[in-house]
Amino acid sequence: MVHIREINPARFEDSLIAVGPMLNLDGLFMKPLPTPPPEPLLPDGSVNLHPHHEDHLPRGILETAAEKEHNWFIGSIDQGTTSSRFLIFNGEGDPVASHQIEFENLYPKSGWHEQDPYELLNSVEKCIEGAMDRFAEQGYSKVDVRAIGITTQRETTVVWDSTTGEPLCNAIVWPDTRTTAIVRELKARDSADTLQELCGLPLSTYPSSVKLMWLLQNVDPVKQAYDEGRLAFGTVDSWLIYKLNGGAQAEKPIHVTDSTNASRTMFMNLRTLQYDDKLLGFFGLDRSKIQLPKIVPSSDPECFGKLTRGPLAGVPIGGCLGDQSSALVGQCGFSPGQAKNTYGTGGFILYNVGTEPVISKHGLLATVAYDFGGGRKPAYALEGSIAVAGAGVTFLKNNFGFLEESSEINALAASVPDNGGVFFVTAFSGLFAPYWIDDAKGTLFGITQHTTKGHIARATLEATCYQTRAILEAMEKDSGHKLESLAVDGGLSNSDLCMQTQADISGIPVDRPRMRETTALGAAIAAGLATGVWRELEDLEQVNKNGRKVFQPQMGRPEAEKMFRKWEQAVEMSKGWTKD
């Protein structure tokens, strides 16, 4: 049985960290946010809004006398794998206040990865308090925050008792591989090959479906709650929205998810955006025994409820997106053919394919990019997922002691001119797209007496770049179009060396925005669209466009091809380590 740890509230008192100090992954190389300039004065001495606030007032609404002192702001909950954050954005998409807390990840057995559901909730609430303190220091208050968006890690699975609202065990986190045997058994079923056409995902340890199956088979309280019809299932977005709205004690508990998160469960039909009985039946689920979250659009003024406590009590939650979809929205990737890569704990590449899903033939996932409702068609994406990106840097820091801080990876990797023949297949949880090798393990190749820490650091950064190129090539085959550039964000994108290497290995320009909090910005955009801060996507054309840096390929193509061929050789040699 999986036990839930006791939460010690005092833990959080020492971990309230303002944006600015170095953070594990998501805050890699971050600099303190600038203090916004004072409001400009009109000739009569009154205070006017900044130009960007005037530009982004809802159409048809003029500033009243009472509103002259107030600007338009959107809050964003960004709940990731290693930390939670709350950011407050202005109308141009610039963060004006922020707070971040790292929380503990649990690894009770090899291949197991868990989180305490209450620690996720508590960290989010503490982040809201911390960011609002900084917001107040600038002269603003709760009434200036029009709405809140929420973006979360996706496949991480939470189950709770619908009568008490209490979690029944720790959450199983998306990279967890305890379900390998279940996946192997499911792949042997006759109808297994038909699933991807319906839901867009291949069978692997990645989606929520197999995690729920494992819980039903191995955790007695979960199985008992299922048999008695009081088992509530959700991804992290559903859990947080449920609890932020008051949980089981609410007059009408809110149990919802949006289609970007639901598309990661393998329970939702990709075309109808509703649960599919064939998919549920394949995983042995009886809909009458389990409470699945209602699937709603990613942007809605009412479906997600409102906060019931804390400094923003009463403020509506207007948007919800899975973290990678949110990053695509934050990069304003609204046109087919646009792509982004988020270098966080893992690496996640989304390629907008338009309003019809494309089922991959080359090892990618088909997913919902965003669904803003209001009569708009949903947009779909091809996705390639890399299990280890920034997590590789954390591994070098925590396990090998190569670094004191994650930010030192750039200097350490740059201390050598090249990788010295070292290749690091960072398959800590197997390899994801486009390989889908469950039985690979992390493997270092090419080590000699010449090898230094710098070579291994460089090989760690390069591993993410090689996997990104493999995914981009698969996207080109599926879509029939070669990408012209790649928009990037996430902690590891702050490394100039890593981004230049990415451009060299991939042979295309890498486009990095100045403001790289794009995941949180995407959720803010969804909430703003729901509440009239922005009316249409065209209103967002200038959001986060200033100060972008483009890395052009500099390495000769023969050298880049040679390096990539050696990487693929290393991938082949890493297979089979977990076979009995």
What residue type is 479 in one-letter code?
A: S
Half-sphere exposure of 462 (CA within 13 A, CB side): 26
And the tokens for 205? 């340890």
Does residue 546 contact residue 332 with C-beta atoms inside 8 Å?
no
Q: What is the pLDDT of residue 544?
A: 66
Q: What share of the chain is helix, strand, coil (3-state, %, to 5)?
A: 35, 20, 45
DSSP per residue over 298-366, as a string? SB-SSTT-B--SSTTTT-BEEEEEEHHHHHHHHTT--STT-EEEEESSSEEEEEEEESS----SSSPEE
pLDDT of residue 24: 38
Note the pTM of the prediction, 2 decimals.
0.79
What's the burial of 188, exposed, middle or buried (CB within 10 Å: 0-12/13-18/19+)?
exposed
104 neighbors 83 (Cβ within 8 angstroms): no
Q: What is the pLDDT of residue 71?
A: 58
Taking only Cα atoms into account, the Rg of the chain, rounded to an integer number of angstroms, comes to: 23
Do residues 284 and 217 lie in contact, with contact meaning Cβ atoms separated by under 8 Å?
no
Sequential pLDDT tens for the chain (580 residues): 444 333 343 333 333 333 333 333 344 433 344 444 443 433 333 333 333 333 444 444 444 434 433 458 999 999 998 899 999 998 778 899 999 999 999 999 988 999 999 999 999 999 999 999 999 999 999 999 999 999 999 999 999 999 999 999 999 999 899 999 999 999 999 899 999 999 999 898 889 999 999 999 999 999 999 999 999 999 999 999 999 999 999 989 999 999 999 999 999 999 999 999 999 999 999 999 999 999 999 999 999 999 999 999 999 999 999 999 999 999 888 888 888 999 988 888 999 999 999 998 888 999 999 999 888 899 999 999 888 898 899 999 999 999 998 889 999 999 999 999 999 999 987 888 888 887 888 999 999 999 999 999 999 999 999 999 999 999 989 988 778 889 998 889 999 999 999 999 999 999 998 887 889 999 999 999 898 888 777 767 667 677 789 999 999 999 999 999 999 999 999 988 766 5
Q: Provide CB contacts within 8 A for 230, sequence distance 6+.
A: 161, 162, 163, 291
CA distances from 29 to 53, 182, 295, 452, 507 (A): 29, 40, 37, 24, 25
Q: Residue 221 contacts by C-beta under 8 Å, 6 or more apart in sequence?
A: 1, 168, 169
